[in-house]
């Protein structure tokens, strides 16, 4: 049986239509990946020991890039930011705009009051049992400073070995330099967990 011209045209158009649908699907998928990867979330690899005992060198995490478009960072949150040396750092927010911050050994004062740091409690207790300070580094005592507007004062959890806002090489972190909030550790598999922000995010 011979095909009509219309049937032949339809048979030829079918593969083209299917190819077009595949192209559309792939473009849509790439668009989703772009939005998620570049606009909403970003991977980050911990480099160094400045956030021990809570984050280890080589751990991979997902950084939420959207949250600080909706609100400002809060004390206790773990953030990733671009440091003056041009490298992304991971630290914990201690002082918000207008806060007065000082460090006296193992105690951090904000606006004249010692803050509770549950994410360091185990290390602080271990040091106290040994009769030594946990924060025994170069900046174990840091005089009171006032956090400027549109900036943060940040500290590493590994206080004796952290290059953070106490260092003149880092200083206050401008909001414009914040990449986002570290929310999930996804590698290695044995370390998968939500990031502990010290409960301050509910404030």
> Where do runs of H (alpha helix) occur along 43-189?
67-70, 121-130
Positions marked active-site: 50, 91
The three-class DSSP label of residue 64 is strand
70 vs 37: CA distance, rounded Å:
18
Residue 199 CA to residue 89 CA, distance in Å, equals 22
Nearest-angstrom CA–CA distance, 142 and 137: 11
């Amino acid at each position: 049986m011979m095909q009509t011209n219309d049937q032949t045209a339809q048979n030829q158009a079918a593969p083209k239509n299917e190819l077009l649908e595949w192209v559309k699907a792939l473009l849509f998928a790439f668009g989703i990946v772009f939005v998620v990867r570049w606009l909403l979330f970003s991977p980050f690899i911990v480099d160094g020991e400045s956030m021990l005992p809570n984050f280890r060198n080589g751990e991979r995490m997902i950084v939420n890039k959207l949250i600080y478009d909706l609100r400002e960072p809060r004390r206790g949150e773990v953030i990733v930011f671009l440091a003056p040396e041009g490298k992304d750092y991971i630290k914990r927010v201690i002082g918000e705009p207008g806060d007065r911050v000082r460090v006296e050994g193992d105690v951090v004062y904000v606006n004249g009051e010692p803050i509770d740091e549950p994410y360091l409690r185990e290390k602080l207790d271990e040091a106290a049992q040994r009769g030594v300070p946990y924060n025994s580094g170069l900046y174990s005592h840091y005089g009171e400073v006032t956090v400027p507007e549109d900036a943060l004062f940040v500290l590493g959890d590994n206080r004796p070995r952290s290059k953070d806002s106490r260092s003149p090489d880092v200083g206050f972190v401008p909001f414009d330099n914040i990449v986002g909030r570290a929310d999930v550790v996804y590698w290695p598999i044995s370390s998968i967990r939500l990031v502990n922000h010290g409960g301050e995010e509910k404030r």
